[in-house]
Amino acid sequence: MSSNTVISARDLSLTFQTGDGPVHALKDVSLEVEKGDFVSFIGPSGCGKTTFLRCMADLEHPTGGSLTVNGASAEEARKSRAYGYVFQAAGLYPWRTIGGNIRLPLEIMGYARDDQEARVKRVLELVDLAGFERKYPWQLSGGMQQRASIARALAFDADLLLMDEPFGALDEIVRDHLNEQLLHLWDRTNKTICFVTHSIPEAVYLSTKIVVMSPRPGRITDVIESTLPRVRPLDIRETPEFLDIAHRVREGLRAGHSDDL
Amino acid sequence: MGWLALGVLAWALGWGINSRLSHGPKTRTTRLLVPVIFGLTIVVIWECLVRGLSISPVLLPAPTAIAATFAKSTHILWADFVQTALKGALTGYIMGCGAAFLTAIAIDRFPFLQRGLLPVGNFVAALPIIGMAPILVMWFGFDWQSKAAVVVVMVFFPMLVNTVQGLTDTDAMQRDLMRTYAAGYWQTLFKLRLPAAMPFIFNGLKIATTLALIGAIVAEFFGSPIKGMGFRISTSVGQLALDLVWAEIVVAAIAGSGFYGAVALVEKAVTFWHPSQRSRA
Amino acid sequence: MMRNLLPVLTIVATLLALWYAAAVALNAQWERDQAARAGETLTLPALITDTWSQDKPKLPAPHQVAVEIWNTTGAMVLEGRGFSKRSLFYHSWITFSATALGFVLGTALGVALAIGIVYNRTMDMSVMPWVIASQTIPILAIAPMIIVVLNAVGISGLLPKAMISMYLSFFPVVVGMVKGLRSPTPMQLDQMRTWNASASQTFWRLRLPSSLPYLFTSLKVGMAASLVGAIVGELPTGAVAGLGARLLAGSYYGQTIQIWSALIMAATLAAVLVGLIGLIQRITLKRMGMA
């Protein structure tokens, strides 16, 4: 484990006890995420990708194995505000303006007033929402709300971004646009991003590393290092190289649940 | 006979106009105008019936008689209003709702207490609390304090139940977001849960306004110094001075709807963001 | 529901304990005065037991109320005098009959008005705002007047009280039924139109079933309001029968135990009636798959 490792999971397991017996949400998951990586987690429902992300965020507690974030436990990382989390729904407070919503984590974490103002301006520019500070969430479209949610996660100094299917509820045209923007953002800010998705093209387009997972028990079936260049225009999605990687992902998914087909 | 014919004419006219207006486009003006016309029509018919059928004023006074009594008794009506609505109902309302709100926050950290208190609270809120009025008069005396006490008892549980419901309404995702910010209990309470609870809290506050005035007035039926709306109503009924009774009812109606309207206005300002305040279906 | 049993019992036990303590606190002054007059000193255990057995306590202890209730209900039934004029069952029956009659009338009137409002635009725009506004008006205040006026035209006894109950229960029913009858989604209404369903068919097969959950909630509120109306209706004319009359009589003669027993009886009546509606609600909605 080098000093460049942001997340290190060793034989991570999480078992729920339910009325129908134990559910192995995660079983012996091992993975290393380096600084600056863009890692996608893809798999069908129940494969544990969201559970894994939530373990990294200290929103779930594993029942076995080990997990370190920035060299410390997940709880310590959470308490030191080491990451920003983006949920599937924007979850903005309707009683606060967009600016107010972005200020929310800054207020909680105790940033100074002028610092707050500067940060709000900066992140709104990053997600292309400059000038929307005084608008209310319901005045924005779904895509814009999600961008505001991402901006909120960028406002404070966390080098790690955990995103749980953030574009899942949006239509494909908006999704394409946001994918492009996210890549630009990643390039500019150099954050480490862990991204959960259902969509194969999205996973291949965005990531430097694709983690294919499968259910029952939740486990990793394949880790694919992407050979695509760092700078990617949208039409890279029609190149043979892209299709090869997508094919490999698809194979991994098929192998994962061939037992219940 | 002429009066009855006038009454029928008024009904036909009023209904006709309203029919026309209702089947046209729904604007803010028509929404206000139609019920007002309806109300006026009722008042006119009332007047016509009383005069046409020569109904005794002891039974049902005419609107004009009520208006006359109202005009000449304003000092009595005002004194009664201050006694019942301001001293009795308003103080009880503030104390009762305040206590309920603080209790809700106090038990917020103890799910065990919440689980026990909510069913009991719902039960108590459905009881004829007004029955406690004689007991409270005995404890607190005849004056406005016992009436305020009745109001406190009446508004406490509905307000408590609504506030607790509001505080537990935040969804899991919002609470998770607060956890990712490592936010403390008080930060989460003030920045997330209290603003999110406001629609429920105001629902409770509005219900409490109606309960407060009823409580204060009915409590006076059980004993009161020689002023107060409930006192005036029960004694005037005894003297068969029904026009004064109706005048008091008019005051009660204005007070009740005014109080409710004021709270609704504050609600509009505080919960401007809630879908129910934004959309105009 | 079992999960809530322990917390509920804890709260109830705590409330009973507080009640006993409060009884000591409120009744202590009288005890001390008595002791001072007799020139005796009062020990704490004696003070406590005495405050729990006064004749006209400021706050009767729970067991005193329980004994009084038993004396006027169970004990009388056992003596075969279950419906004598001093039995709480008799008084409860009087209040209950007014409540029930008023409730039935109020519900019928409320449902009829709600249907009118939903199906007639003129009624909707003229009457509905008044229904909503009337909820902010303390209608209970005119109870004495209604009793007296109706007595003057020769209607007395059960009917005037039932009128008040009817008036109080009909508003929640109108508001709830209107919401309920309007609850089907535009999609469901469109579907009825594609089948060329008549207004009556749409009413019986879609609107009415959808409105049942709302109706039951309103019925519970209406029942509670009806009971309050019947009790308050018994106050003005110095009525001699009914739970409200017992409350009034108790307060005139300083019979606090009597007041509390009437109050507890009224509370029990309310709980039983609302619980009954709740039971019917659960059964009906379960059979309709909506529970």
Q: Pick the residue from chain B with its C-alpha nearest to A80.
A: B182
> Which residues are C194's β-sheet partners?
none
Cβ distance of B195 and A138 shorter than 8 Å? no
DSSP characters over B109-173 = G-HHHHHHHHHHHHHHHTS-GGGGHHHHHHHH-SSHHHHHHHHHHHHHHHHHHHHHHHHT---HH
Query: According to the model, what pLDDT value does residue C238 have?
Result: 60
Looking at the structure, tell me whether residues C30 and C150 fall in a common domain.
no
pLDDT, position C2: 65
- Residue closest to C215 by CA, chosen among C122, C129, C270, C290: C290
Range with lowest mean pLDDT among A136-140, A223-227, C239-243: C239-243
Give yes or no: residues C110 and C206 share one domain. Answer: yes
pLDDT at A223: 94
Q: Within this chain, do residues C52 and C108 fall inside the same structural domain, yes or no? A: no
Least confident of B23-27, C100-104, C138-142: C138-142
B269 touches chain A (CB under 8 A): no
Query: Could you give the CA distance from residue C221 to residue C226 in angstroms, rounded to a whole number?
Result: 9
> Which residues from chain C sit within 8 angstroms of residue B138, using beta carbons?
58, 251, 254, 256
**C215 within some domain:** yes
* Cβ–Cβ gap B138/C254 under 8 Å: yes
CA–CA min distance B110, chain A (Å): 22
- Specify the pLDDT at position B277: 76
The values of phi and psi at residue C154, to 5°, are 100, 0
The answer to whether residue C118 neighbours chain B at the CB level (below 8 Å) is no
In a domain, C260, yes or no: yes
Instruction: Indicate the helix (H) or strand (E) that contains A163.
Output: strand A160-164
Q: What is the mean pLDDT of residues B46-55?
A: 87
Q: Among A27-41, A93-107, B17-31, C129-143, name the one with the lowest average pLDDT.
A: C129-143
- Check pLDDT > 60 for residue B273: yes
Query: Residue A73: pLDDT above 90?
Result: yes
Contact C127 B35 (CB under 8 A): yes
C42-72 per-position pLDDT tens digit: 777 777 787 788 877 878 888 888 888 888 8
**Residues whose CB falls within 8 Å of the CB of residue B280, separated by 6 or more in sequence, listed in order:** none
**CB-CB neighbours of A34 under 10 Å:** 15
Count Cβ–Cβ pairs < 8 Å, chain A vs chain B. 48
What pLDDT sits at residue A106?
Answer: 93
- Of C232, C235, C241, C228, give the one whose Cα is nearest residue C274: C228
Lowest mean pLDDT among A181-195, C45-59, C216-230, C259-273: C45-59
Confidence label for A72 from pLDDT (cuts 50, 70 and 90)? very high
Residue B228 in 3-state DSSP? Answer: coil
Q: How far is A233 from chain B (nearest CA, A)?
A: 33
Residue of higher predicted confidence among A259 and B32: B32
Alpha helices in chain A (DSSP H): 49-56, 74-79, 98-109, 113-126, 142-154, 172-189, 200-206, 240-256
- Residues with Cβ within 8 Å of B23's Cβ and at least 6 positions away in sequence, in order, are C121, C122
Q: Answer yes or no: do C4 and B119 touch at CB < 8 A.
A: yes
Q: Do A105 and B181 touch (CB under 8 A)?
A: yes
Inter-chain residue contact B35 with C266, CB threshold 8 Å: no
Q: Sort out which chain A residues have CB atoms less than 8 A from B195's CB and list them.
A: 93, 95
> Are C102 and C214 in the same domain?
yes
pLDDT digits (tens, 9 = 90+) for B119-132: 788 777 767 777 78
Collapsed DSSP state (helix, strand, coil) of residue B264: helix
Spatial CA neighbour of C19 closest among C61, C47, C54, C56 = C61
Closest CA to A154 of A115, A117, A189, A108: A189
Nearest CA in chain B to C124: B22
What residue of B is the nearest CA neighbor of A91?
B174
Kindly list the structural domains of chain A, giving each domain's residue range(s) and its CATH number in brackets, ordered by start: 1-82+162-174+192-261 (3.40.50.300), 90-157 (no CATH)
Average pLDDT over residues C238-260: 81
Do residues A108 and B191 make contact, with C-beta atoms less than 8 angstroms apart? Answer: yes
Mean pLDDT of B44-66: 86
Give the pLDDT confidence of C208-232 residue by residue, as tens digits. 998 998 899 899 889 988 998 888 8
Q: Judge whether residue B142 has pLDDT over 70.
A: yes
Of the ranges A202-216, A243-257, C220-234, C237-251, which is most confident? Answer: A202-216
| C257: nearest CA partner in chain B | B135
pLDDT at C24: 83
Q: Is the pLDDT of residue C239 over 70?
A: no
Whether residue C40 is predicted with pLDDT greater than 90 in this model: the reply is no
Region B202-214 average pLDDT: 89
Q: Is B278 on the interface with A (CB under 8 A)?
A: yes
Q: What would the pLDDT profile of B82-107 be if each residue is shown by its tens digit?
A: 888 888 899 999 999 999 999 999 88
Q: Which residues of A touch B (CB under 8 A)?
A: 57-59, 78-81, 83-85, 87, 89, 91, 93-95, 104-105, 107-109, 136, 138
C48 and C96 together in one domain:
no
In a domain, C80, yes or no: no
Do residues C47 and C97 share a domain?
no
Q: Which residue has the tokens 């200020």?
A: A103
Nearest CA among B161, B144, B164 for reference residue B227: B144
Per the DSSP assignment, residues forming a β-bridge with A163 are A86, A195
The rounded distance, in Å, linking the Cα atoms of A70 and B204 is 47
Of B247 and B123, which is predicted with more confidence? B247
Rounded to the nearest integer, the mean pLDDT of chain C is 85
Residue A66: φ, ψ to 5°: -135, 155
Query: Given pLDDT bands bounded at 50, 70 and 90, which one contains residue B22?
Result: confident
Q: Which residues of A touch B194 (CB under 8 A)?
A: none
Domain-ending residue, one of C44, C59, C74: C59
* Number of domains within chain C: 2
> What does the alpha-carbon distance between residue C127 and residue A179 come to, in Å, rounded to a whole number?
54
Per CB-CB distance under 8 Å, the chain B contacts of A136 are 273
The CB-side HSE value for B93 (13 A sphere, CA atoms) comes to 24
- The pLDDT, as a whole number, for residue C82 is 66
Asked if residue C235 and residue C197 are part of one domain, the reply reads yes
What is the mean predicted confidence (pLDDT) over A39-58?
A: 92
Residue C11 sits in the same domain as residue C100: no
Is a pLDDT exceeding 80 seen at residue C126? yes
Other beta carbons less than 10 A from residue C74's beta carbon: 14
Does B191 contact A108 at a Cβ distance shorter than 8 Å?
yes
Across the interface, of B174, B181, B278, the residue whose CB is closest to A138 is: B278
Looking at C39, C59, C79, the residue that finishes a domain is: C59
pLDDT at C52: 81
Report yes or no on C81 lying in a domain: no
Q: Are B16 and B50 in contact (CB under 8 A)?
A: no
Residue A202, pLDDT score:
94
Residue B4 has pLDDT above 60, yes or no: yes
Residues of A in contact with B197 (CB under 8 A): none
C189 lies in some domain: yes
- Chain B residues with CB under 8 Å of C217 CB are none
Interfacial C residues in 135-174 facing B (CB < 8 Å): 135-145, 147-149, 152-153
Looking at every residue in chain B, the average pLDDT score rounds to 87
Same domain as C107, residue C41: no
How far, in Å, CA of C23 to CA of C180, rounded? 46
Is residue A123 classed as helix, strand or coil in its secondary structure?
Answer: helix
Q: Do chains C and B touch (3 or more CB pairs under 8 A)?
A: yes
Residues C153 and C269 in one domain: yes
Average pLDDT over residues C10-30: 84
Phi-psi region of C138 (alpha: psi -120 to 50; beta: other; left: phi over 0): beta
| CATH number of the CATH domain containing C163 | 1.10.3720.10
Q: What is the mean pLDDT of residues A131-155?
A: 93
Q: What span, in angstroms and rounded, lies between the C-alpha atoms of B72 and B244? A: 10
- pLDDT (tens digit per residue) in A93-110: 999 999 999 999 999 999
Report the DSSP pairing between strands A209-214 and A38-42: parallel
Q: Which of B108-117, B148-157, B185-194, C169-178 has the lowest mean pLDDT?
A: B108-117
Nearest-CA neighbor of B228 among B109, B86, B131? B86
Optimal mutation site among A54, A59, A81, A150, interface B, most CBs of chain B within 10 A: A59
C-chain CB neighbours of B228 within 8 Å are none
For residue B21, pLDDT over 80 is answered with: yes
A195's enclosing H/E stretch is strand A192-197
Percentage of chain B modeled with pLDDT above 70: 98
Last-in-domain residue among C59, C80, C99: C59
Query: What confidence tier does B280 reach under pLDDT thresholds 50, 70, 90?
Result: very low
C37 shares its domain with C181: no
ipTM here: 0.82
Q: How far apart are CA A112 and CA A119, in angstroms?
A: 10
Which of C125, C153, C179 to mutate: most B Cβ within 10 Å? Answer: C125
**What is the residue range of C41's domain?**
2-59
Chain A meets chain C (3+ C-beta pairs below 8 A): no
- Kindly determine whether residue B130 and residue C231, on different chains, have CB atoms separated by under 8 Å: yes
* pLDDT level of residue A247 (50, 70, 90 thresholds): very high
In this complex, which chains have at least 3 CB pairs below 8 Å with chain C?
Answer: B
**For C164-190, what is the mean pLDDT?**
89
pLDDT attached to residue A258: 60
Binary contact (C149, B60; C-beta < 8 A): yes
Search chain B and give the residue with CA nearest C246: B131
Pair C23, C100 in one domain: no
pLDDT of residue C8: 84
Cβ contact, residue pair C126, B38, below 8 Å? yes
- Whether residue C26 lies within 8 A of chain B, CB to CB, comes out as yes
Predicted pLDDT at B281: 36
**Percent of chain A having pLDDT more than 70?**
97
Give the nearest chain B residue to A100 (CA atoms): B191
* Angle value at C-alpha C165, between C164 and C169, nearest 5 degrees: 120
CA angle (B174 as vertex; B168, B180 as ends), nearest 5: 125
